[in-house]
Amino acid sequence: MARSNPRLEAALGDITAARVDAVVNAANRQLAGGGGVDGAIHRAAGVTELQAACRVIGECAPGHAVATEGFKLAARWIIHTVGPMWRDGAHQEAEILASCYRSCLAVADELGATSIAFPAISTGIYGYPAQLAAAIAITTVRETPTDVTLVCFVAFDLDTFALYQQLL
C-alpha cells in the first residue's frame, strides 16, 4: 500500500462512539484507566476486559503508543498513548506530544487500520494549552507518512472543535 496524506476531519462528540478502525486513548503511564477520555474509553470498552489487556502490556512511556483490542467499542482497536504533562513548554512537551501522534499512526499502520480517531491528547488534566496542542496534532499528522486514509480529531467541547476546524 502506498503511503499518502490521510483525509483530516474534525468532529464534536464522544470518541467512544467513533466508527473508525482505531480509537486513541489519552492514557496514563500505567494504562490503568482514569478520568476524562481514558475513563470514558475504559467504561465503554469494558473495564474488566480492557484493564486485563493493559496489565499484560504493563506500562507505556510518554510519547509512545501500544494497542489493545477495542472490546465493546465500535472501533476494532484502542491505541493507548501517554502525552506530556504541561509544565511551561520548555521541557520537551511539544516533542513528546508530536511523538504521541507519530507513534499512534505507526501502530495503526502495523495493525492495518485505515481510519483513526484522536482525542485532544494532554489537554485535560495534563494541562496542555488546547490551541498549542491542536496545532501540534494537525501539523504532525499532516507531516507523518502513513497508510491511514482517514484521521478524525474528536473534540469533546465546542472550543476545541472550533480550534480543529480553524486549523483544518
Res 38 pLDDT > 90: yes
Beta bridge partners of 146: 4
The Cα 45–Cα 140 span in angstroms is: 28
Q: Which positions are catalytic?
A: 38
The Cα 124–Cα 133 span in angstroms is: 11
- Residue ranges and CATH numbers for the domains of the chain are 7-167 (3.40.220.10)
88-146 residue pLDDT tens: 999 999 999 999 999 999 999 999 999 999 999 999 999 999 999 999 999 999 999 99
Residue 99 has what pLDDT? 98
Res 1 pLDDT > 50: no
CB count in 10 Å sphere of residue 78: 25
Q: Among residues of the chain, what percentage have pLDDT more than 90?
A: 94
Residue 34 has what pLDDT? 86
Whole-model pTM over 0.75: yes
| pLDDT-derived band at 9, boundaries 50, 70, 90 | very high
CA distances from 5 to 11, 35, 81, 138, 148 (A): 19, 32, 22, 12, 8
